[in-house]
Amino acid sequence: MHSFDSPRLIADIGGTYARFALETSQGEFTQIASLRCAEHADFHAAVTAYLATVTPLRIEHAAIAIANPVDGDLVSMTNYHWRFSIEQMRQQLGLDTLVVVNDFTALAMALPRLGSEGVRQVGGGEAHQHSVIGLLGPGSGLGVSALIPAGDGWISLGSEGGHTSFSPRDEREIAILRFAWKQFDHVSFERLLSGPGLELMYRALADRAGIAVQQWSAQEITQRALDASDPVCADTLDVFCTLLGTAAANLAVTLGALGGIYIGGGIVPRLGSYFERSPFRARFEQKGRFSDYVAAIPTYVITAEHATFIGASAILDAQLRALKTAPGSAILGQIRRARSELSPAELRVAEYVLAHPRAALNDPIAEIAGAARVSQPTVIRFCRSLGCEGLSDFKLRLASGLTGTVPVTHTQVTNDDSMLELGAKVLGNTASAILQVRSQLNREMIDRAIELLIHAERVEFFAVGHYGVVAQDAQFKFLRLGVSSGACTDPRLQLLAAGVLKPRDVAVVISSSGSLPELLEVAEKAHQRGAAVIAITASQSPLARKADAALIVDHLEDLSTHLPMISRILHLLVIDILAVGVAMRRHPEGVAPLAGDADLRLDEAGRASTKPIAPRRSRNAMAEPAVASPLARLTSHSR
């Protein structure tokens, strides 16, 4: 079995315990430890406490399976108070790679690797090869996932199916639901099929039986049920297994899981032979017209001790393999191997990059050279010694090696850039700025600006210098919408133009900095004349504070070129937002009049077109859906 260059940290984080291990080769886990979450302030403290107990080794890669949905960088546990940023945690722990996945996503990926010795079948049925596999398991909550066959591999389905609504089948279950309703508005399967759920059902059944409730934990309830020392506890475990049969059958028919249903988690595998004798399988097969369908689907209990570790390791390994096959990836490993062939000065650059890969990814060449105590040409020579065309190409490969994707960041254009590097930087910087502005759209301000423009008798656009083209473009768009508009870009005329505005007019002032005196005077004069002011400008700027509606465009500009490469495009896009918004509010069917006889129509993507577009009609005109607001259309893509 192939050993890894360095051990990999694997963790399984639940609401009660955090389990850690070092994986030295595929499937070989050592130095396994289980820490109580309550004894550590946060996730970083728990990881640090574990690492303090293991042999000091360089750990480059880690995979964390956590009992929580993972969507984006911020992880906030549902059943515990820990929360952290994945990227910040990676940096704090000094890792090259940190993969964080839902614990049941990880467990699902382990299923094809467990073999017959890692599971125990309960009941009949036979699995279909290359079919969907379902997974659920009660523990601190109720985890649900699935595997979908894809070519020679599998796709793990991230799911929060444990939060589907509980459906009772008999009087006993109805009594439990009524009892739970006293505490919860929505009673999901997770409320009952979990450790806290066992305790809730025990209280409900004791209340139903008129017996005094004991303050027993889920573990104590389970033990008293297994040794038959308490009838209410026995009844509780019986209904627990029964309801699990219902949940498993629901999952089987929802997914079409002909590959089988697997039961994991921290409760069922500990029940041993009791679970096989329980009502689980009988309830699983009670599916009315689909009883024969589910009876043919096998159900298994996962008995493998480190199944979640195996799945998390598989996901991490798949990501690292993908990085190795990506063009120019695994650059950090290439740097380590090339150190013996580098000059002393280039070696200092290499050591800096290895120690601070994220800084090297984002910093300009001057800062990299200064931190490594070398000249800027040395940095370029270092990049070319690795087969890169220059620093920009090196950064793209470094980004791929760190994350598996090429993050869009701002990089400064320099005189040393080739034409290819320059083009890549301009496009990358612009894309990054657009995404940033999209994430910062303010619904209230856009709605306010569009409302002002809709009721305006005249709209005057003011800008100076490079931004004059933005004002001219805005005038053109609004004239085509039939709005009386003007573009004033001559500083000598702007104050005069603002002086003839009327109370129902709108002045749109476009300024990257928001601090030019001449444009601030325009805003003041417009207000004196009773006109409204819309500003397209930077946040916290004097112009933003003077405006009735401020549309914020914050960005990083390459000042060394003295050209507004990014901000001009961002301002043009904000004008497009306003134009589309006005058109859709005034003409919700997507048709707006032009100044002439032609028509301006909005296609399905919201783009203006002079080509006639036949209106789409539903078969039932009365059932025509309402048109979403333009802002809802614009912001839905940023969620």
Indicate the range of 70-84, 454-468, 592-606 predicted with least confidence: 592-606
Q: If pLDDT is split at 50, 70 and 90, which confidence band does 80 have?
A: confident
Q: For residues 602 and 233, which has the higher predicted lDDT (pLDDT)?
A: 233
Is residue 316 situated within a structural domain?
no
**Domain end point (choices 416, 437, 458):** 437
CATH of residue 546:
3.40.50.10490
* 461 touches 511 (CB < 8 A): no
The per-residue pLDDT for 46 is 93
**Tokens representing 580?**
């589309």
Residue with more model confidence, 529 or 397: 529
Residue 447 lies in a domain: yes
Question: Is pLDDT at 540 greater than 50 in this prediction?
Answer: yes
* Domain co-membership, 92 together with 201: no
Count of domains forming the chain: 4
**In the predicted structure, residue 84 carries a pLDDT above the cut 70:** yes
The rounded distance, in Å, linking the Cα atoms of 265 and 483 is 63
Token pair 């380590």 is found at: 336
Residue 628 located in a structural domain: no
pLDDT of 421 reads: 60
In a domain, 97, yes or no: yes
> In the chain, what percentage of residues exceed pLDDT 90?
49
Domain check: are 167 and 79 in the same one? no
pLDDT, tens digit, 9 for 90 and up, residues 288-303: 999 999 999 999 999 9
Looking at residue 260, its pLDDT comes to 95
CA distance 235 to 224: 11
265 and 372 inside one domain? no
CA 408 to each of CA 66, 399, 424, 431, 612: distance values in angstroms, whole numbers, following the listed order: 28, 9, 11, 7, 38
Q: Are 21 and 307 in contact (CB under 8 A)?
A: no
Determine the pLDDT at residue 210. Answer: 92
Does one domain contain both 451 and 431? Answer: no
Average pLDDT, integer, range 233-262: 95
pLDDT at 268: 93
On whether both 194 and 50 belong to a single domain, the answer is no
Instruction: Kindly indicate the confidence band of residue 432, based on its pLDDT and cuts at 50, 70 and 90.
Output: low
Segment 561-569 shows an average pLDDT of 65
CA atoms of 540 and 538, how far apart (whole Å): 7
Give the whole-angstrom CA distance, residue 521 versus residue 537: 15
The whole-number average pLDDT for the span 398-416 is 50
**Do 363 and 504 fall within a single domain?**
no
Asked whether residue 233 carries a pLDDT value surpassing 50, the answer given is yes
Q: pLDDT band at residue 178, thresholds of 50, 70 and 90? A: very high
Contacts of 623 (CB under 8 A, 6+ apart): none
Which residue among 417, 437, 457 closes a domain?
A: 437
Note whether 414 and 458 are same-domain residues.
Answer: no
Q: What is the pLDDT of residue 236?
A: 95
Phi-psi region of 274 (alpha: psi -120 to 50; beta: other; left: phi over 0): alpha
Given a cut of 80, is residue 256 above it in pLDDT? yes
Given 244, 278, 297, which residue is the final one in a domain? 297
Q: What average pLDDT score do residues 135-149 get?
A: 89
Dump strand ranges (E) for 504-619. 506-510, 532-537, 549-552, 591-593, 599-602, 608-609
What is the full DSSP assignment across 328-378?
Answer: T--HHHHHHHHGGGS-HHHHHHHHHHHH-HHHHHHS-HHHHHHHHTS-HHH
Same domain, 444 and 411: no
Q: Is residue 551 part of a domain?
A: yes
Q: How far is CA 403 from the centre of its chain?
A: 14
Nearest CA to 571 out of 605, 611, 543 is that of 543
589 C-beta neighbours (distance < 10 Å), count: 12
pLDDT for 161 equals: 86
Q: Return the top range by mean pLDDT from 110-124, 151-165, 187-201.
A: 187-201
Q: Determine contact, residues 61/95, Cβ cutoff 8 Å.
A: yes
Beta carbons within 8 Å of 559's beta carbon, 6+ residues apart: none
pLDDT of 42 > 80? The answer is yes
Structure-model confidence comparison of residues 584 and 478, the more confident one = 478
pLDDT 10s digits, 339-384? 888 899 999 999 888 877 767 877 888 889 999 999 999 999 998 8
Please choose, from the candidates 110, 112, 91, 90, the residue with its C-alpha nearest in 3D space to the C-alpha of residue 100: 90
pLDDT at 176 exceeding the cut of 70:
yes
CA dist., res. 639 & res. 633, Å (int): 11
Question: What pLDDT shows up at residue 227?
Answer: 93
Query: Do 483 and 563 lie in a common domain?
Result: yes
Is residue 206's pLDDT more than 50?
Answer: yes
Helix, strand and coil in the chain, % to nearest 5:
50, 20, 35
- pLDDT, residue 255, reads 92
Q: How confident is the model at residue 11 (pLDDT cuts 50, 70, 90)?
A: very high
**How does residue 606 score in pLDDT terms, banded at 50, 70 and 90?**
very low
Mean pLDDT for 223-245 is: 95
Task: Tell me the pLDDT of the chain averaged across its residues.
Answer: 82
> What does the alpha-carbon distance between residue 412 and residue 426 come to, in Å, rounded to a whole number?
9
- 103 has a pLDDT exceeding 60: yes
Q: Give the span between the Cα atoms of 571 and 213, in whole angstroms.
A: 66
Across 146-160, 211-225, 260-274, least confident range: 146-160
Q: Is the dihedral of CA 17, 18, 22, 26 positive or negative?
A: positive
* pLDDT score recorded for residue 2: 62
**Dist. CA 384–CA 342, nearest whole Å:** 11
Confidence of residue 67 (pLDDT cuts 50, 70, 90): confident
pLDDT of residue 588: 60
- Give Cα 131 to chain centroid, integer Å: 28
Residue 119 in any domain: the answer is: no
Rounded CA-CA distance 107/141 in Å is 15
Domain extent at residue 585: 440-609
**626 vs 22 pLDDT, higher one:** 22
Q: Do 132 and 65 lie in a common domain?
A: no
Q: Three-state SS for 181?
A: helix
Q: Is the domain of 88 the same as that of 132?
A: no
- In the DSSP assignment, the letter for residue 162 is G
Q: Is residue 631 part of a domain?
A: no
Checking if the pLDDT of 631 tops 70, the result is no
- pLDDT score, position 51: 92
DSSP state of 182: T
Indicate whether 481 and 562 sit together in one domain: yes
pTM beyond 0.85: the answer is no
- Is 546 part of a structural domain of the chain? yes
- Which pLDDT value is given to residue 420? 65
Over residues 496-511, mean pLDDT: 95
**Residue 582: closest CA among 237, 111, 430, 590:** 590
The CATH number for 84's domain is: 3.30.420.40
pLDDT at position 187 is 94
